[in-house]
Amino acid sequence: MVHLIGIDIGTTGTKALLIDKDGKVIARSTIEYPLSQPKLGWAEQDPEQWWGATINTIKRVIFDSRVAPNTIKGIGLSGQMHGAVFMDKNSNVLRPCIMWCDQRTDAECKYITEKIGKKRLINLTCNPALTGFTAPKILWVRKHEPEVYNRTYKILLPKDFIRFKLTGGFATDVSDASGTLLFDVQKRCWSKEMLRGLDIPLDLMAKSYESYEITGKITKEVASETGLMEGTPVVGGAGDQAAGAIGNGIVSTGVISATIGTSGVVFAYSNQPKVDPLGRLHTFCHAVPGKWHLMGVMLSAGGSFRWFKDTLADSEVVYAREEGIDPYEILTRKAESAQPGCQGLIFLPYLTGERTPHANPNARGVLFGLNLRHGKPDIIRAIMEGVVYGMRDSLEIIKELKVAVHEIRVSGGGARSRLWRQIQADVYNKPVTMINVDEGPAFGVALLAGVGTHVYKSVEDACKKTIKVAERVKPNPDNVKTYEKFYRIYQSLYHSLKGHFDEVAGVVSS
């Protein structure tokens, strides 16, 4: 018997997934943890919380599955991208991790763009300087916390901190490293020119590997604590989006994924490093060796829905707890009673700024068009629709770059809701499909572990043997017409309000 484990270090929790070689899920476990926001626009987490969650989820899947540890042939790691974990030479974490959604580094982004040059920056890294990326975080710490920076021995991405704890080695993979703004995405290696230009020593970065390559093995201490076998291989893995794409079978041209989790991501496979000259989309190395991907990211997709639940849905949460059901199920039921377009109510989902297509940390959420006829169902549905409008922004740029779009596979929380699936089909005006598994990045890196340990011949082979289309949702022609009109208004609202976003940011920070 052959088993594989995938571990995803997410924003809200860590998930461990144990599968067999046919892709059947044998056991899963998730442990959640908080996100700290010590100042407006900041976002941090304690890496030791990830480690505690990792240990306990591994123990749970081994215990629940009752599988023999020697049948677990490999482990893959995925994680939230762009975070910066600063460690000293004694392996101590020096400060909380600065997260992907943190917006404090606007000044550092401007510095990087001026120092390297906007065009040269995109030539070197395939991406513009954005507040979410890792390099601006490093410069922020160097400027504002020099005592931390001067003691730093390694700077690790979130999943790579867990790799160090599991194996004792420092390593990363090409897909995750692509999001640091220090990586030569076209050549799939660290950019010496970027590192020199920003005066960041190469030694601070971990060695990079392709996603399927073995980067280390489980130590004796970890084996004793988790129940794993000492020496179990750990592969490079992938950033959460590339890992999720593997888990969705996005390993050929024309198949696009649209994932609504905390963030929202539209992901397209590419045989070459195709770059958006305006820098609206990211171009990163794919977890498929020798391949790349284009990716549009909105920062508050499912996060917008979660904000509503946590802030304005107390009664629904209490009712859901009493009935033993998911509160999101209650909320989407209410949204179903609202009309498509919500009688002119439009939501701009910029609760933590935005990345694609506007790259503006000052952008803020807006409910536009409220009137006395609107009730809670309209507001809930408007949030769901606004998130999908934001996803369509990325899809339109992908089409503009002449990338084929034959099929859109939906996943994440936005795929579990029947209503949200239909809204996506209608707003995209394309059929959307669901596959037979919906386990996200953890499933993708479990497959990568199978490739690295020769359970599968290739990434494509792994996907072919485990992933099938399970459902197809067609667009409703009447809804398509409605959403087309409101999407154009949605697009114009950002441009109308941009100056006011910046004004408000200036007042709040003064």
Please state, in angstroms and rounded to a whole number, the distance separating the CA atoms of residues 464 and 141. Answer: 44
**Omega before residue 96 within 30° of 0, cis:** no
Are residues 74 and 103 in contact, defined by beta-carbon separation less than 8 angstroms? no
Please state, in angstroms and rounded to a whole number, the distance separating the CA atoms of residues 345 and 341. Answer: 7
Are residues 382 and 483 in contact, defined by beta-carbon separation less than 8 angstroms? no
Question: What ranges in 2-86 are assigned the alpha helix state H?
Answer: 47-65
Are residues 156 and 164 in contact, defined by beta-carbon separation less than 8 angstroms? yes
- Concatenating the DSSP letter of every residue in 238-280 gives EEHHHHHHHHTT--STEEEEEEESSSEEEEEEESS----TTS-
Radius of gyration of the chain (CA): 22
- Residues with Cβ within 8 Å of 223's Cβ and at least 6 positions away in sequence, in order, are 229, 230, 231, 232
Q: Is 106 a catalytic residue?
A: no
Joined together, the tokens standing for residue 388 give 């999908």
Nearest to 75 by CA among 3, 24, 14: 3
Please state, in angstroms and rounded to a whole number, the distance separating the CA atoms of residues 348 and 361. Answer: 14
- Residues with Cβ within 8 Å of 213's Cβ and at least 6 positions away in sequence, in order, are 173, 235, 236, 452
Which position among 160, 240, 378, 426 bears the catalytic label? 240
Please give the backbone phi and psi of residue 311, each rounded to the nearest 5 degrees, phi first. -105, -35
**Active site members:** 240
